[in-house]
Amino acid sequence: MLDWQRRGEGPNVVLVHGFLGSSMVFEPLAEHLVRHFTVTTIDLPGFGRSHDASVPATVEALGELVAATIRSAGLDSCAILGHSLGAWIALEISLQQPALLERMVLYGGSPDGYCPARFETYEQSIARIRAQGIDSFAAELAAEWFLRGKQDPMYPLARQAGSHANEAAAIRHVESWNQWRAGDRLDAVETPTLIVCGDSDRSTHPDLSIAMWKKIARAQLFIAPGAGHIVHLEQTLAFNTIVTRFLGQAGL
């Protein structure tokens, strides 16, 4: 199982971070949500407190691992918010084990692993990790998430959240992405869904969020102006307001 941490009281919400992150990246969001919810954060394999955990060979298997971790944490049902890779995981859980999820937020996600408008190809990312080392690459990647890059005052938090990642695990994650496909399965999603992205996201283009919104029945969509790939740290008030309202709607 993966490492998880819990705090707060109220309906259960699980937060799943993205590539080269950790639960630390959600600290400001978690501090807000604990006023209303019980918040559980999970560190994905290779990152944070799950630094030494094995990375499954596919995103589908990663979804199964996260679902098993949620159940091992004593939850039979919950809402989930997944960012980037975490959004893929949340979507997989919704498709594999819909009874586990009451609501989900797909944040900075996409319907498939292949993202043609990404700032660089996955192969280029792997080459840079090997050439630069994981810490240098992680610092540069974190800057790509922000519209203002390293000048954003929240950049140090994002950088710290991805520090000391497991290099081999990071490469194994990236190697699995192009094969993951959910776009042709979106009409099977039954979980009430909120889709969130920044209007200037260079990792997962807003068109990908719009595509999911069009195919997931009754999904809600929020495109944050003046934000990149990490809206909750760039447009915090708007993000917290929209997400809290969605999570607090009937069903939780």
Domains of the chain: residue spans and CATH: 4-247 (3.40.50.1820)
SS3 (DSSP) at 56: coil
The reported pLDDT for the residue numbered 212 is 98
CA 148 to chain centre: 20
Helix runs in the chain, H state only: 27-33, 59-72, 85-96, 122-132, 134-145, 155-161, 167-175, 206-215, 231-234, 236-247
Q: What percent of the chain has pLDDT over 70?
A: 99
* Alpha-carbon gap, residue 159 to 182, rounded angstroms: 29
Whether the Cβ atoms of residue 40 and residue 73 lie closer than 8 Å to each other? yes
The reported pLDDT for the residue numbered 249 is 72
The reported pLDDT for the residue numbered 200 is 98
Q: What percent of the chain has pLDDT over 90?
A: 98
Low-confidence ranges of the chain (pLDDT < 70): 250-252
The reported pLDDT for the residue numbered 252 is 43
The reported pLDDT for the residue numbered 250 is 42
Question: Does the predicted TM-score (pTM) go above 0.85?
Answer: yes
